[in-house]
Every structure is written in C-alpha cells, then in structure tokens.
Structure 1
Amino acid sequence: MSAAIAPAVQQQAALWLVELQSDELTAHARRQLNQRLQAWRQAHADHERAWQRIEAMGMQLQPLAGTAASAALAHAARSAGRGRRVALRNLALLLFSGAAAGTLAWQAQGETSGVWLAGADESTGTAERRAITLPDGTQLELNARSALDVQYDERWRLLRLRAGEILVTTAPGSTALAQPLVVETRHGRIRALGTRFAVRERGLGSTQVMLFEGQTEITPQRSPARRFILSKGEQVRFDAQHAETAERADASAIAWTRGMLVAQDMPLAEFLAELARHRPGYLGCDPVVARLPISGTYPLADTDRVLDMLLATQPLALRTATRYWVSVQPR
C-alpha cells in the first residue's frame, strides 16, 4: 500500500493546477510553467504521485463546471494571501481525500455528466427551471440540470432529451398541425397522443415516463417491433430493449414544477440525488444511511434549510470539506 502524500506536497500540486488554469497566461508563459511543473514532478517520487492523482481525474486540463473541486479551484485563483492559502488547502483536501473523485464519479454515473449542457438547444443549470412554449402551443417545463434538442418543422415534432427531466403538455388539437410529437431518449421514443406527461432520463440505465392525461406509445430503441401503450394515470420505466410493468403514476414526482420536493418513504440516497439538482457541488450520503426512508414536503429554493430539517428530524449529521462538498452521515 502506498504511503500517504504529505499535505505540503498535496497543496503544491493543487497550486500547480490553479496556475495552469489562469486565463492570463501567454503561450510562452504557459510553456515555461509546464517546464517548471515537469521539473517539480521529477524532483521527487511523491511529487509525481501527487500530479498523477490529479491527472487520473482529468483535472489538469479543465475542471468540470459545478463540481466541488472546480468551485474550490476558482476560489483559490481569485483569492490572495491567507484566503488563497485556505482555498488551496481546501482544494488539496478535495483532490486527495477522495471528495473530488467522488464528485466526478457521481457526475459520470448520474443523470448529468459533464457533457449534458454542451450544444443543447435548450438547457438548465443547477437550481434552474424553465418554461418553454413550442410553435404549436405545446408547453414544456425543464427541471434543473436538464438539456434537450428541439426539431420542429413541417415534417417533425421531435424533442431529444439528452439529460434530466421535462414535463410536456401538448396543445389542444396540435396533432392536426403536424406529425405526432415524439420525445426521444437514448433508450427509445415516446409518442404523445394528445397528452400531458413527464419524461425523465435516468442516466445509462433507463427512461421513466409518467402519464397524467391521454396516452403515450413507447418504442424501445433496440426493439422497434415492441411497442407499449401507457394510459392515463400510469408510469413506467424502460430501457433500450423492453419496458417494465406499468405502475400507478405519482403526481408528487412533478412537484418540482412548483419548486417543491415531495417524498413518501423515499430512500435518503434518492432524496439527496433529487435535492442535488438544486445545489452546486456534491451532495451524497454514507451507504449506511442510504436506505433511510424520508417523508415530507421540502422547498427546493433553500437546500440548506432542507438539510437542517433532515438533521432535526433524523439521526443524521453532516460531513463537509467545503460548502460545495457535503456528505450526510449517521449521527
């Protein structure tokens, strides 16, 4: 097992990362900085180990926006004196304690990896929701951390959901104006048949559809001959090959459209994943308490208040590296 890297070396590696992120460097200055970094890495085996730790997360090129590590990095770059030293210490803690690695892994395996925003026709960031009216009068509501492409013309009414969640309310009589509206995800297509429904991209695993009015037809991507009709009041998850058995739709699942999170015996890990859409940085929990059932109605506009409510009503405590990295632990 490798020996721990000294805190001073960790902070120096974090400093190199901050310096390399500067927008003020000329091409010549950047080459010189890289040469000095290379010399530092070669000066001691621990220096090389520390930098390899950063390289293993891809952090030497560009931090992922919205992560705890990128927030700490930005703060370190802006600060001076003691504030800079504190920010560097926090960044080093994130990089070498596993916090940043956990944050990157969470983003990679979750619904909103670092590429979800780039190039999308419509998108929302952390804690942002948006309402959109399409040319035919169809109403869309985007949850936080969602992105989609819109292809609307005489031949197509296609919404390609890249990540996140949308609520669709088709305009009365809109089916007479064009081809049926279709929502496409990586797992297949949902064809709206005069309806109000929500679609959620649940990462690589599945897509969830909740139907509140009308009907929808679901076609898995790899099984185009297998089509499933979802009726009013039903919800279902499907992947690229098949759909699960339909269940009763839970209207509280779209309470986010009213700025609320409604939970009924929701596992803590799932509850925090929902809350994390509306809070910058990393928010997770110890596996020991991941299944703890949470119930209640919570305001999404104040996530700190929600965490305080959890601590007041559950046997839980918070572990924080910075305000951008929070883990819920057993008390």
Structure 2
Amino acid sequence: MAHDSQRQALSAAAHWVARLAAEPGDPALHAAWLVWRDETPLNQWAWQRVEHLRHQLHCLPGALTVNVMDAAADQSRRLGRRALLKGVLIGAGVSAIGWSGYRQAPQWMADQRTTTGERHSLRLDDGTRLSLNTASAVDIRYNAEQRLVILRAGEILVDTAPDPRPFLVRSAHGEMRALGTRFDVRQFEDFTAMSVLQHAVAVRLGREPAETVVTAGQTVTFDAQRMLSLGANEPGEGAWAQGRLVVDNWRLDRLVAELARYRPGYLGCATEIGHLPVSGAYSLDDIDLTLNALTHALPIRLTAHTRYWTTLGPRA
C-alpha cells in the first residue's frame, strides 16, 4: 500500500540522519545518502519532513529525551548517544506524521508559508503585494507568459501590480484571473471563497474554459463543479492583513471558530452560548486580549485548563 511505502521512506530517512550524525566525515557514506535521497521523489519528500523534525528536536522536554534514550540503551553503543537520540526521536515523530504528512507535503514544501497565528507579507518580483494569513502556503510560478500563485492552504490577500502578463491565483477548486485588482482568496476543504475589494476578478472552475467575472464588493464561493454562492462582501473583508477581525452580527460560535485559526491548541465555545450575537473589531495579534474583551461584553466566562486548551461557557 502507498501508506506503507511512505512510512518506509520516513523510517529510512530517520536512519540516514542517525548514520550521518554518527559519522559526519565519511565521504562514502555521504555519497550513498545522496544516491538514496535523489533516487525517488518519495525519498526527497521523506528527507525534507525528517529534516523539519530534526530542527525542532531542541524543543522537546528533557523527560521525553531521557525516556527515549533509556528505551534505546542497547543500541547506543553502536551509533553513539547523540546520533541515536536524533534517529530515535525522528523515528517516533515520522510514525505520527505518516499519511497525513504525505498529504500535506505540498504545503510544507511551499515557496512561502506561515504557521498558526503568523501572518506574512511580501512584494513579488513584479511589484505585486502578497499577504499570507495564518497557517497558509503558496507556490509562486512566474514566467514569460504568466504570473501564477498556487494557493496550497489557508488564505491570501493580493494587491496586483501593472504587468502585461496575466496574474492568476489557482486553488484546489479553480483559477482566478485578476483584472487589475485587489482581492482575498481563502481555500476551505470543500470549496474556495474569493472576495473582490477593488476592480474585478474572472473565475474559472476546474478545467472549464468559461469564466465568471466577479466585481468589487462581491464574494463568491465555488467548488470544482459549480458556483455555490455570490453575494456582498462582509464588513472588514481583508482586515486580517492589518491584524484585525471585523464582525457584524456574527454568532459567538462563529467568531470563536475564526479566532481558533490564530491560536495553537484548542479553543471552543459551549453550545449554550454559541447563538449570542457579536459585533466589533477584534485583535488577531493578542487573542487573549480579545477573549477577555468578550467575557466583559457578554454573559460568558473563560476557562483555561492550559495555554493550549481554552473554552468559553455561560457565566454562573
């Protein structure tokens, strides 16, 4: 099965990390590793995933390090304590990322990406301004014929610069062609949402040749087969690029779900209070401040079991 081959590649990559760390000056070993890495795209992907985990080893708690080392004590004589630690920890990590990691490989290997709670803006070669929202990833493919941004995950805000080449954004569900414009694109699992802030954007679904023009002030949602909805932009569309979330008569549970995008761990809302209406502008740079503001404005209370498990419930 494909799943098994992916796990095998990840396991092999972890083994190579340990061997290379144990014998860093061996040219023959380094050459053999290069042959293995470049042998298949799957090996290249597995090595990149394992390298990502290796660079995060310093974040592991000391107790976990001790437990892993004790479990592998009988092997430590062969590879050495430091090299073995890397290999064992990575081996444990790759079994957890397995299939889900393979599915997300394009996101991890994207040209530009952000983590949870992070936003990033950059200026492309043609002068176009591209902003990435939390947990987002894009590939940038410019050539002589076109300017293409492939949205792998999350949400982007595009402010295009004048250029004779067409500017395209491609999501999992279709392609958007800018008509001298500023627009926001968010990719969900089953559909894409696109809001035009200035001028217009032509939308093409899947492989269909026909385009639908969406003008300023409109938001469209679509999947690969059909347009799902077309309506007016919500107030504050694209304000996330300035660190604000603007809401107008939202349900509280919707607001909490949106805030959860910017906060590691779990952030939830009890069903008893989910219907409460909320309006205002809230900070995305300090989610704790936003949550505290909500508890003062509404009959709700906040319960934090840890930094990574927070719930909102009815006030006693």
Question: Which residue matches 1:135?
Answer: 125
The answer to whether residue 211 in structure 2 is matched with residue 227 in structure 1 is yes
Cα distance in 1 between the residues matched to 2:198 and 2:157: 12
Counterpart-to-counterpart distance in 2, 1:225 and 1:135 = 28
Change in Cα spacing, 1:116 to 1:74, as seen in structure 2 (3 Å) is farther
Q: What is the TM-score when the length of structure 2 is the normalising length?
A: 0.65
| C-alpha distance after superposition, 1:23-74 (max 9, x if no partner) | xxx89xxxxxxxxxxxxxxxxxxxxxxxxxxxxxxxxxx9xx9xxxx9xx94
CA change 1:143–1:217 in 2 (3 A) is same
For residue 226 of structure 1, report the CA deviation from its aligned partner. 4.3
**The one of 277, 294, 298 aligned to 1:293:** 277
* Distance in 2 (alpha carbons) for counterparts of 1:238 and 1:260: 26
Q: Distance in 1 between matches of 2:223 and 2:187?
A: 10
Contact persistence 2:222–2:229 (CA under 8 A): no
Contact residue 140 and residue 167 of structure 1 kept, 8 A: yes
* TM-aligned CA distance change 1:132 to 1:79, over 3 Å: same
Instruction: Give the match for residue 186 of structure 1.
Output: 172
Q: Report the counterpart of residue 305 of structure 2 in structure 1.
A: 321
**CA distance in 2 between partners of 1:193 and 1:317 (Å):** 47
Which residue number corresponds to residue 42 of structure 1?
none
Give yes or no for contact 2:235–2:247 (8 Å, CA) kept in 1.
no
Please give the secondary structure, in 1, of the residue aligned with 2:236.
Answer: helix
What pairs up with 1:138-149 in 2 under 5 angstroms? 138-149=128-139
Q: Does the residue aligned with 1:256 lie in a helix, a strand or coil?
A: helix
User: How far apart are the structure 2 equivalents of 1:321 and 1:116?
Assistant: 34
1:75 positional shift: 4.8
Instruction: Provide Cα deviations, 1:137-160, integer angstroms capped at 9, x if missing partner.
Output: 111111111111111111331111
The equivalent of 1:151 in structure 2 is 141
**Aligned-partner Cα distance in 2 for 1:214–1:261:** 23
Opposite residue 122 of structure 1, the aligned amino acid is: Q
Partner SS state of residue 253, structure 1: coil
Q: Deviations over 1:80-134 (max 9, x none)?
A: 9xxxxxxxxxxxxxxxxxxxxxxx9xxx9xxxx9657410110011221111111
Offset at residue 268 of structure 1 (A): 2.0
Distance 1:236 1:152, change over 3 A: same
Deviation track 1:220-279 (CA, whole Å, cap 9, x = no partner) reads 116x14421101221111111111342112350211111111111122222122222322
Q: Which has the higher contact order (CA 8 A, sep 6+)?
A: 1
Paired residue for 1:217? 202
Equivalent residues of 1:255, 1:262 under 8 A apart: yes
Corresponding position of 2:190: 205
The answer to whether the 8 Å contact 1:276/1:282 transfers is yes
User: Are the counterparts in 2 of residues 166 and 200 from structure 1 also a CA contact under 8 Å?
Assistant: yes
Instruction: Give the fraction of aligned pairs with identical amino acids, expressed as a percent.
Output: 39
Point out where structure 1 has 5 or more consecutive residues left out of the alignment.
Answer: 1-25, 28-61, 81-103
Q: Given the alignment, which residue of 88, 112, 121 partners 2:111?
A: 121
Alpha-carbon distance between aligned partners in 2 of 1:183 and 1:322, rounded to the nearest angstrom = 39
Q: Is the 8 A contact 1:228 1:243 kept in 2?
A: no
Distance 1:290 1:163 in 2: 27
Q: For structure 2, list consecutive stretches of 5 or more residues without a partner in the other structure.
A: 1-17, 20-49, 67-95
Give 1:90's aligned residue: none
What RMSD, in angstroms, separates the aligned Cα atoms of the two structures? 3.3
Give secondary structure in 2 for the equivalent of 1:304: helix
AA at the equivalent of 2:242? R
Structure 1-normalised TM-score?
0.63
